[in-house]
């Protein structure tokens, strides 16, 4: 569907992937939802080893539709806008460091990449780096994480089951001693995927400064007055 979806976007009248309004792949109202500001978005409970996570939006409504369209429906034209949102989260995560920053995307499985025709998180990381470069801040993207064993589909699993499913599943493919890393993904739910990614990166010697995502699942106890609340 990945290549087919991209091809159809070129020849068919497009509707907004977030709200289905006519007039283009992403309407102004839905684009504004990705505009931040970035906020800390820790899940509850916080899994051991999770770096401080930053996001620009809640994973609900139109934002959820945009991320799913990019990830599962081949709407690759959304990468730049979603990447701009991710870049805002990266800037917040890197605010107090002057060290060169390495963005490390959480890897998709080989089977998922073959099915989609692309790695959506890698694409978002590259788009975020491009957005930051245009604003005068250089960051690098490193595809250094890999799966070293198969994992079950995370859908429907509890936080504890997700943690068990992912424990020890990732590895870094090179020495990262001395590197300052921000691990990136499209969404944070329970946080166990980002925690496992951070574990593998630390094992390779990296200083994992934070995590950055486009959107965060709302906590059940979160309200409008919560510091992590998105408008």
- Find the CATH number of the domain harbouring 12: 3.40.50
105 inside domain? yes
103 inside domain? yes
104 inside domain? yes
The pLDDT of residue 93: 96
Pairing mode of beta strands 170-172, 180-188:
unpaired
Q: How far is CA 204 from CA 50, 103, 148, 151, in A?
A: 16, 15, 14, 21
Range of the domain at 103: 2-216
The pLDDT of residue 5: 53
pLDDT of 178-215, one tens digit each?
A: 999 999 999 999 999 999 999 999 999 999 999 999 99
The pLDDT of residue 12: 60
The pLDDT of residue 223: 52
The pLDDT of residue 225: 47
The pLDDT of residue 144: 96
d(CA 118, CA 52): 28
The pLDDT of residue 19: 95
How many domains is the chain partitioned into structurally?
1
228 inside domain? no
226 inside domain? no
pLDDT in tens, the chain (231 residues): 455 555 555 556 689 999 999 879 999 999 999 998 999 999 999 999 999 999 999 999 999 999 999 999 999 999 999 999 999 999 999 998 888 999 999 998 878 888 889 999 999 999 999 999 999 888 999 999 998 766 655 556 566 666 666 666 799 999 999 999 999 999 999 999 999 999 999 999 999 999 999 999 976 445 544 545 565
230 inside domain? no
β-pair partners for 58: 216
27 inside domain? yes
Query: Using an 8 Å Cβ cutoff, are 126 and 119 in contact?
Result: no
The pLDDT of residue 165: 62
Structure tokens at 218: 């709302």
127 inside domain? yes
Angle at 121 between CA 72 and CA 41, to 5 degrees: 100
């Amino acid at each position: 569907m990945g290549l087919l979806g991209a091809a159809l976007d070129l020849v068919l009248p497009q509707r907004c992937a977030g709200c289905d309004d006519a007039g283009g792949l992403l309407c102004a109202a839905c684009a504004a939802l990705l505009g931040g500001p970035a906020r800390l978005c820790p899940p509850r409970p916080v899994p051991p080893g999770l770096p401080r996570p930053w996001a620009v939006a809640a994973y609900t409504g139109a934002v959820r539709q945009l991320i799913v369209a990019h990830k599962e429906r081949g709407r690759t034209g959304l990468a730049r806008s979603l990447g701009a949102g991710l870049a805002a989260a990266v800037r917040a995560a890197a605010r107090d460091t002057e060290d060169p920053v390495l963005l490390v995307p959480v890897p998709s499985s080989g089977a998922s990449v073959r099915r989609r025709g692309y790695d959506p998180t890698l694409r978002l990381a590259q788009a975020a780096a491009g957005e930051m470069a245009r604003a005068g801040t250089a960051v690098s993207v490193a595809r250094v994480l890999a799966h070293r064993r198969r994992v079950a589909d995370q859908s429907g699993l509890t936080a504890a089951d997700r943690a068990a499913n992912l424990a020890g599943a990732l590895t870094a493919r090179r020495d990262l001693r001395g590197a300052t890393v921000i691990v990136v993904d499209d969404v944070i739910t329970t946080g166990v995927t980002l925690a496992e990614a951070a574990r593998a990166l630390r094992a390779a010697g990296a200083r994992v400064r934070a995590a950055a995502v486009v959107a965060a699942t709302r906590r059940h106890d979160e309200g409008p007055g919560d510091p992590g609340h998105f408008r």
